[in-house]
Amino acid sequence: MLSTAERTFHALLDGVCRLHAGDDGQVDRLAALYAEPTDVRHPMAPLGDTPLVSREDLRQHFAAAGAGRLAGLRAEDVRVHATGDPEVFVGEFTYRGEPDWSVSNVIVFRLRDGLIAESRDYLDHLGLARATGGVDALAERLRA
């Protein structure tokens, strides 16, 4: 099962990187990696966590994320770990981009029938905002 989890996790990261490179066709491909219904949460999101519970929610999420292109985005140092629960895996990775930044992240996900049924995405949103020059925009949104 670990190989399925690894393939799914790599497909997710690859799709996100391609999306940020301008391949908007990744929106549907990324949403298709998830079960219907699903339960995706971002507990560390600075603007609050809005659960994503359907593929349509995920399409909208990925479309919005892809609108903010990140030059040279790539996922490196990718590792997937099995847990005591045969459905649950931990994925670690580092996003890197241009000109020269990196942000470490962890995603805990439940895989059923090869699809992501649940995930908790512990992304370093503040680190990403710092790395990509988005701190002022984030601060403005926090003040609103």
Q: What pLDDT is stored for residue 99 in this prediction?
A: 84
pTM: 0.92
Q: How confident is the model at residue 86 (pLDDT cuts 50, 70, 90)?
A: very high
Q: For the chain, what is the mean pLDDT?
A: 93
Determine how β-strand 101-112 pairs with β-strand 88-97.
antiparallel
Whether residue 67 is predicted with pLDDT greater than 80 in this model: the reply is: no
Do 109 and 41 meet the contact criterion of CB atoms below 8 Å apart?
A: no
Q: How far apart are CA 51 and CA 41, in angstroms?
A: 5
pLDDT value, residue 68: 72
All domains in the chain, ordered by first residue: 2-143 (3.10.450.50)
**Which residues have a Cβ under 8 Å from the Cβ of 116 and sit 6 or more positions away?**
8, 12, 33, 34, 35, 38, 40, 109, 110
